[in-house]
Amino acid sequence: MPVGEVSSSSIPEGADPGEVAALVAAGRLADAARLCAGSGRHAAAAELYERACDFASAAEQALLGAEPGRALRLAVLSGQAELCARARARVVSVLGPRELDALAADLCARGHACEAGELWCVLERHETAAGAFARAGEVLRAAQCHERAGQPAEAARVIEVALRSGSAQCGGPDREAELRVALGELYGRHGKHEAALRILQQVAPGSPLRRRALRPLATALERLGLGQALEELRAEARVQGRSLADADAAPAAATAVPPPSAAPARLFGRYDVVREVATTPHARVIEARDGLTGERVALKIFASRLTGAGRDALQRFGREARALARLQHPNVVPLRDFVATGPAIVLAWMGGGSLGELMGRGPVAPARAAEIARAVLLALGEAHRLGILHRDVKPSNVLLDEAGTPKLADFGAAHLAEQEATVTAAEIGTLGYMSPEQRLGRAASAPSDVYAAGVLLYEMLTGRLPEGDAAPSRHQPDLDERHDALCARLLAAQPERRLQSAEEARRAIEALDWPTRAPPRAAGPVAAPAAATSASASASPRLGPAREPARACDAAERRHDAWTQRDVLVVALDDASLGRAAAFARAGHPALPLVLRAERAAAGGPERGQIWIEAARGRSLADSGELLDAEEHACLLAAIEALHAAGGAHGCIDADHVFRQAGALRLAYPRAPAAAADAAGDRAALVRLRGHECK
């Protein structure tokens, strides 16, 4: 209706028609509406308020005028939740099912799908309501309606689609965690405990939703027989000052879970759990029995809770599966199956334990050491032939079957020939077994794997990692200069001076005679370089005076590592320092310093344990007087959030601890962290750094 016109119904009885018409003609619709409302003509007032786009007032007048359907439409346009609730309650109390259904369809057609869904829920048309909520982007309400309609699989699909599509990330980490918890609870309610475990363990410990995830996560672990992981979860709950029974209850749609049965838990419909063997930040290893073949197997199930690092860990998991699928060799742990829905890698069970455990039980005879090194080199030779570099050869990745046959395992760090990414020492591998070029961040090669095999051989022969003069005959009297020369060629610092292939190294080992006697000696690797009254003092030839320019406040703890040719901070190892360093190691953010080594002192010795940490390089903000821009502030914020998610805190963020080198920003290791360091303090300190001159 044109602004200057007014219907006869718009003129209130008893009101001056001329006055109302004049107000409308002048465009003063709100004044005309108030005049109508004051005279009790609510329908006319609602019409005028609607024309004036005052939808809240129009809805109120429609409610007073006994027009609940119109009131609800207007209330939705107003965007006021409380008004919508009142109008909806009036509609439900007045209209019959047929009228309600028609109103819901009309609202949906007008683009108000969420409000339509609420009405269809009242009518218990849950499947129709789920479609409306899905159209409105209300993922959890849509899933809830599908479950009420007896469609739990469709409910799970709705949430999974939201997680995969990336729409959850738009709402931030809390929104994504909320969806994961809801999906995990849904799986748990319907007995899908494997799927519940997979999704719930991705809710980071630092997330506000973690508390709600504890109870369904505990139920899944209990049902699957994962006792060790359940104890870890109980310990986490105790740290938070609660028990698992105190965790937030699941939503009202949850039903009670029946007590676990005596039958063994079955994973992926085929594998009966025997026991949980180990847990890492990225995987759980479970001994199981294949229900189809009866064979003992090891299930390696992906389980990453570390924010930021989880996607990289999943890529490593996929790399391992692809590498093992290509490798069919008697000295490689056989791949039995890959379960994409886990994801999980199923491996043949290695009943003989690891090489690390073998060395821990006592000295290894040189002939046995040569046999094991030869087997590792045979496996590496086959891998290199297929274009696969292992890059993480170490004692825990060499497993023995029941007959004692060595088999190379854990190709998660493997570099496949079709991949072009170069992974640096900061991202992959284990420092003590890395080649010098990897420690410097250069690309790995076949001689890099040969170097790691040489470290294994040396450690088996001597009981220690190579350091300084790597002549094994100094520690093993049955060896001679021929064995020394071989180890020197395997462990040459320059790749071009090293034995160039696994095949060449294997032949060199086979060309020598190896003693069969294992003389008594201390088992296992030697302790870290000794620390005297301060952690910085060391008599080890590997550590010397610092060579790089440093601030005076760093000088006492700073030393030069002859192995890696870089300065390191050497910190005394105690429970507090070890816990702090472990959090930095778990965080794995490129703006945080690397934890390079942590070893306790030898039992009964005078030394103290040590932690070696990457020393800061470049210029600090305190020296340069520069400011943090928005991008740099965001980088450091991401770094400390990764640290908090790993269970740690910095406690000493200031201009002295922020360094720039070659365009990169790094946060130095805390020199004197506050006793009560926490996430809030770190964030506040970082805020103080931004926008203020660093002096």
- 673 vs 669: CA distance, rounded Å: 9
DSSP 61-108: HHHHTT-HHHHHHHHHHHT-HHHHHHHHHHHHHHS-HHHHHHHHHHHH
Q: Which residue has the higher pLDDT, 626 or 446?
A: 446
- 213 vs 236: CA distance, rounded Å: 12
419: Cβ contacts below 8 Å, ≥ 6 apart = 319
Nearest to 197 by CA among 164, 179, 223, 231: 223
Least confident of 25-29, 265-269, 311-315: 311-315
Please list the residues that pair with 611 across neighbouring strands.
571, 598
Quote the pLDDT of residue 694.
Answer: 39
Q: Looking at residues 609-625, what average pLDDT do you find? A: 79
- 468 vs 432: CA distance, rounded Å: 13
Confidence tier at 240 by pLDDT (50, 70, 90): low
Q: How many residues does the chain have?
A: 695
Please list the residues that pair with 270 across neighbouring strands.
none
Q: Looking at residues 528-539, what average pLDDT do you find? A: 33
Q: Which residue is it, tokens 């009242």?
A: 122
Please list the residues that pair with 661 across neighbouring strands.
664
The Cα angle at residue 655 between residues 651 and 637, in degrees rounded to 5:
60
**Predicted confidence (pLDDT) at residue 528 exceeds the cutoff of 60:** no
**Predicted confidence (pLDDT) at residue 139 exceeds the cutoff of 80:** yes
Q: Is 681 exposed, middle or buried (0-12, 13-18, 19+ CB in 10 A)?
A: middle
Whether residue 343 is preceded by a cis peptide bond, meaning omega within 30 degrees of 0, is: yes
Least confident of 159-173, 275-289, 451-465: 159-173
pLDDT 10s digits, 188-211: 888 788 788 878 877 877 778 888
Q: At what angle do helices 126-135 and 113-122 cross, to 10 degrees?
A: 170
Q: Which residue has the higher pLDDT, 372 or 549?
A: 372
Quote the pLDDT of residue 152.
Answer: 86
DSSP 397: G
Q: Which two tokens stand for residue 499?
A: 């034995």
Q: Which two tokens stand for residue 217?
A: 């996560």
Q: Which residue is it, tokens 């079957």?
A: 401
Q: Which residue has the higher pLDDT, 262 or 221?
A: 221
pLDDT 10s digits, 11-65: 444 456 667 677 777 778 888 888 888 888 888 888 888 888 888 888 888 888 8
Q: Which two tokens stand for residue 308?
A: 């930021």
Q: Is 589 exposed, middle or buried (0-12, 13-18, 19+ CB in 10 A)?
A: buried
Highest-confidence segment of 244-258, 413-427, 619-633: 619-633
**Predicted confidence (pLDDT) at residue 310 exceeds the cutoff of 60:** no
Beta strands at 406-408 and 415-416: parallel, antiparallel or unpaired:
unpaired
Q: Looking at residues 470-493, what average pLDDT do you find? A: 86
- 562 vs 52: CA distance, rounded Å: 80
**Predicted confidence (pLDDT) at residue 601 exceeds the cutoff of 80:** no
Confidence tier at 282 by pLDDT (50, 70, 90): low
pLDDT 10s digits, 420-452: 333 333 334 456 787 787 777 677 788 888 999
Cα 291–chain centre separation: 31
Percent of the chain topping pLDDT 70: 75
Confidence tier at 10 by pLDDT (50, 70, 90): very low
Nearest to 193 by CA among 264, 131, 245: 264
**Predicted confidence (pLDDT) at residue 259 exceeds the cutoff of 50:** no
Where along the chain do its domains lie? 8-152, 166-254, 350-510, 543-585+593-614, 619-689
Q: Which residue has the higher pLDDT, 337 or 588?
A: 337
Nearest to 370 by CA among 539, 198, 514: 514
Q: Which residue has the higher pLDDT, 280 or 168?
A: 280
Is 73 in a helix, a strand, or coil?
Answer: helix
DSSP 404-454: --EEE---TT-EETT------TTTSS-GGGS-HHHHTTPPP-HHHHHHHHH
The Cα angle at residue 440 between residues 439 and 445, in degrees rounded to 5:
75
Asked if residue 554 lies in contact with residue 614, where contact means CB atoms within 8 angstroms, the answer is: no
Highest-confidence segment of 265-269, 334-338, 550-554, 627-631: 334-338
Asked if residue 653 lies in contact with residue 672, where contact means CB atoms within 8 angstroms, the answer is: no
- 181 vs 214: CA distance, rounded Å: 9
Rounded CA Rg of the chain: 34
Q: Which two tokens stand for residue 377?
A: 């080199």
Least confident of 112-126, 307-321, 391-405, 664-678: 307-321
DSSP 122: H
DSSP 628: B
17: Cβ contacts below 8 Å, ≥ 6 apart = 11
- 296 vs 287: CA distance, rounded Å: 7
Asked if residue 148 lies in contact with residue 140, where contact means CB atoms within 8 angstroms, the answer is: no
Quote the pLDDT of residue 66.
Answer: 83
Beta strands at 266-267 and 658-661: parallel, antiparallel or unpaired:
unpaired
Q: Looking at residues 608-614, what average pLDDT do you find? A: 79
Average pLDDT, the chain: 75
- 502 vs 117: CA distance, rounded Å: 66
- Second CATH level (architecture) for the domain 350-510: Orthogonal Bundle (1.10)
- 397 vs 384: CA distance, rounded Å: 17
Per DSSP, which regions of 451-594 are E strands? 543-545, 558-561, 566-572
**Predicted confidence (pLDDT) at residue 675 exceeds the cutoff of 70:** no
Quote the pLDDT of residue 262.
Answer: 42
Is 660 in a helix, a strand, or coil?
Answer: strand
Least confident of 56-60, 219-223, 302-306, 584-588: 302-306
Q: Looking at residues 540-545, what average pLDDT do you find? A: 62
pLDDT 10s digits, 64-99: 888 888 888 888 888 888 888 888 888 888 888 888
Is 46 in a helix, a strand, or coil?
Answer: helix
Torsions phi, psi for 629 (to 5 deg)? -90, 180
Catalytic residues: 392
Q: Which helix (H) or strand (E) holds 232?
A: helix 227-239
- Second CATH level (architecture) for the domain 166-254: Alpha Horseshoe (1.25)
Task: Read off the amino acid at residue 146.
Answer: H
Q: Which helix (H) or strand (E) holds 129?
A: helix 126-135
DSSP 618: S
Quote the pLDDT of residue 377.
Answer: 92
Q: Which two tokens stand for residue 115?
A: 């409000």
- 689 vs 684: CA distance, rounded Å: 9
Q: Which residue is it, tokens 């086979």?
A: 510
Q: Looking at residues 341-346, what average pLDDT do you find? A: 77
Q: Which helix (H) or strand (E) holds 165?
A: helix 152-165
- 456 vs 565: CA distance, rounded Å: 22
**Predicted confidence (pLDDT) at residue 164 exceeds the cutoff of 60:** yes
Sign, CA torsion 217/219/223/227: positive
Integer distance in angstroms from the first to the last C-alpha of the chain? 69
**Predicted confidence (pLDDT) at residue 666 exceeds the cutoff of 70:** yes
